[in-house]
Amino acid sequence: MKLPEKYCERMKRLLGDEYEAYLKSLEEPAACGLRVNRRKAAPDELLQAVPFSLERIPWTDNGFYYEDAAAPARHPYYYAGLYYLQEPSAMTPASRLPVQPGDRVLDLCAAPGGKATELGGRLGGKGFLLANDISASRAKALLKNLEMAGIPNCCVTAERPERLAEACPEYFDKILVDAPCSGEGMFRRDAKMAARWEEAPPETYLEVQRHLAECAVRMLRPGGMMLYSTCTFSREENEEVILGLLADHPEMEAVPVAPFSGFAPGFGDLPEAVRIFPHRMRGEGHFLALLRKADAAGGPENMAARKEASRVGDRRKAAGTDDARRTEKALSKEQLPEAVRDFLKLTTLDFSGGRFLLEREQAYWLPEGVDRHPGLRYLRSGLLLGSIRKERFEPSQALAMALGREGFGGVLNLSAEDPLTVKYLKGETIPLSGNAGPSPWRLVCVDGWPLGWGKASGAALKNKYSPGWRWM
Ligand code: SAM
């Protein structure tokens, strides 16, 4: 690999004695990682189910190494959303932001969703994830990945960070800022990035990184936590961004990240941060710093009460969500068209709490805690249930993915080895025999895990798998 000369000089200065070991590590192949979707399967369950071998990534509880030849993206379980393919170090930021069920979480630079899907999984269906990316085209990929992961309690926006900060002051409990960066930590995986470095060295990103971190502080509630991460080595893009932020915001403090023996501490005055180097552990280069905003009323023991208080009243008005609720014409389940209600009764999802929306012939469910803020550009609010045309309801791909195992009253369950499974994923019509159900709709599953919809028509199942998601 040809590394830019200037980059090598900087790395020599940064690493000192370790520089040679770093260079040597670049000759080793990069490790491949797979992260189990905790919303759908337990890590041990997946370990038993897959036909390829996996090895635990020791600093996460749901990440595994796999060999390239295993090709996990060519297995039906990938289409069932049971796992996400992610570089091992890139699993670290979402694993070290202490997200709890019920939290309001923002992923400010979320596309394509490697970390947002894990943050959503950690919420366990309770609370709210706002996944944002400034790029609308990248936000579409993010939406698909969140749908595939089966996360109902999220919204997706394509917004500039300052507009979000205006709409959501002191609103979130946890924020991830996975900032755009010069990507030095990824050179081994993608040699093109090394070439790009010369056109866009670390200085290129500093302004946007500081801006993102600053906006995140504005959106963090007192007592809340944010994690800033990059996949680059330069001190300017990492420690210096954070130290600058801490200097401007005495209400923010750096807190230690849950440890792992391979982690190196941050440089200089930021030992609480974590550095991941490829010569010290089996993953690419990363940086993460965890920060906490001081709590007006003091120590963490009052956190739960204050968090609850911040959920109601003034803060909500400040965030404008009351106004949004008034204009959005939310419906209760009873107010939904009969065709939708009848269909939802056949699912195992618990729709108690939350509200429903009908917009342009589409029905959505916004679980309790999912807020919309006026004036923001939403690509998605909550779970798209399906569309209503001529009083008929057609369920969405997202609804299928959000259901639990065999979570519908009418299932066609195929095994991962059955050739019909791949035929279904390719969009082909498949035979259906002796499979009666309370409606013509069938939830097609692989070993119990939902893949998508089909509609019974005599002895065949019409394929309703989302065309954009097909197996190629
Ligand atoms: N967190 C993502 C994941 O795990 O899949 C990767 C994020 S990538 C490192 C950085 C992202 O920041 C890009 O998708 C880019 O479009 C986005 N971005 C760049 N400038 C931004 C800005 N000013 N506001 C929000 N997002 C921005």
Q: Over the stretch 397-421, which tens digit does the pLDDT of each residue have? A: 999 999 999 999 999 999 999 999 9
* Higher-confidence position of 226 and 320: 226
Residue 193: what pLDDT?
92
Tell the burial category of 326 from Cβ atoms under 10 Å away from its Cβ (0-12, 13-18, 19+): exposed
* Span 431-444, average pLDDT: 89
Which of the listed residues 86, 89, 109 should we mutate to test ligand 1's pocket, taking the one with most ligand atoms within 8 A of CB? 109
Higher pLDDT among residues 469 and 322, named by residue: 469
304-339 per-position pLDDT tens digit: 554 555 554 444 444 555 555 556 789 999 999 999
Residue with the nearest Cα to atom 16 of ligand 1?
Answer: 135
| CA-nearest residue, atom 10 of ligand 1 | 180
Q: What is the mean pLDDT of residues 154-182?
A: 98
How does strand 286-293 pair with strand 274-276?
antiparallel
Are 113 and 131 contacting, i.e. CB atoms less than 8 angstroms apart?
yes
Atom of ligand 1 nearest to the CA of 180: 10
pLDDT of 177 reads 99
> Residues with Cβ < 8 Å from 208, sequence gap 6 or more?
179, 180
Percent helix, strand, coil in the chain (nearest 5)? 35, 25, 40
Percent of the chain with pLDDT over 90: 89
Tell me the pLDDT band of 155, cut-offs 50, 70 and 90. Answer: very high
C-alpha 57 to ligand 1 mean position (Å):
25
Ligand 1 atom nearest 135 alpha carbon: 16
Q: Which of 276, 200, 209 is nearest to 244 (CA)?
A: 209
Q: Report CA(149)–ligand 1 centroid distance (Å).
A: 19
Distance 110 CA to ligand 1 centre (A): 6
Compute, in angstroms, the gap from residue 214 CA to the centroid of ligand 1.
15
Ligand 1 nearest-atom number relative to CA 90: 4
pLDDT band at 187 (very low <50, low <70, confident <90, very high): very high
Q: What are phi and psi of 215, to 5 degrees?
A: -65, -40
d(CA 109, ligand 1 centre) in Å: 4
Residue-level pLDDT at 296: 76
Give the residue, out of 132, 134, 177, 182, with the most ligand 1 atoms within 8 A of its beta carbon, to mutate for a pocket test.
134
Beta bridge partners of 359: 362
Query: What are the tokens at 162?
Result: 């300052």
Token digits of residue 250: 């005495």
DSSP element (H, E) containing 310: helix 303-310
Instruction: Compute the chain's Rg from CA coordinates.
Output: 23
Q: Is the pLDDT of residue 90 over 90?
A: yes
Q: Is the pLDDT of residue 380 over 80?
A: yes
Tell me which residue has its CA closest to atom 19 in ligand 1: 180
Between the alpha carbon of residue 100 and those of residues 55, 104, 114, 200, the distances in Å are: 27, 9, 18, 37
The strand ranges marked E within 328-440 are 355-359, 362-366, 378-381, 383-389, 392-395, 411-414, 430-431
CA of 139 to the centre of ligand 1 (A): 9
**What pLDDT band is residue 437 in, cutting at 50, 70 and 90?**
confident
Residue whose CA lies nearest to ligand 1 atom number 1? 110
> In angstroms, what is the span from residue 108 Cα to ligand 1's centroid?
7
- Binding-site residues, ligand 1, Cβ < 6 A: 108-115, 133-135, 138, 161, 178, 180, 208, 212
**Of the given ranges (43-47, 164-168, 273-277, 350-354), which has the lowest mean pLDDT?**
350-354
Catalytic residue among 155, 215, 231, 445: 231
Ligand 1, atom 4, lies closest to the CA of 114
**φ and ψ of 378, to 5 deg:** -95, 130
Mutate which of 35, 92, 133 for ligand 1 pocket (most atoms within 8 A of beta carbon): 133
- Active site (annotated) includes residue 155: no
With CA atoms as reference, report the closest residue to 408 among 359, 452, 370. 452
Query: At what angle are helices 116-123 and 136-148 packed, to 10 degrees?
Result: 40
Ligand 1, atom nearest to 133 Cα: 26
User: Average pLDDT in the 99-121 region?
Assistant: 98
Mean of per-residue pLDDT scores for the chain: 93
| Per-residue model confidence (pLDDT) at position 327 | 63
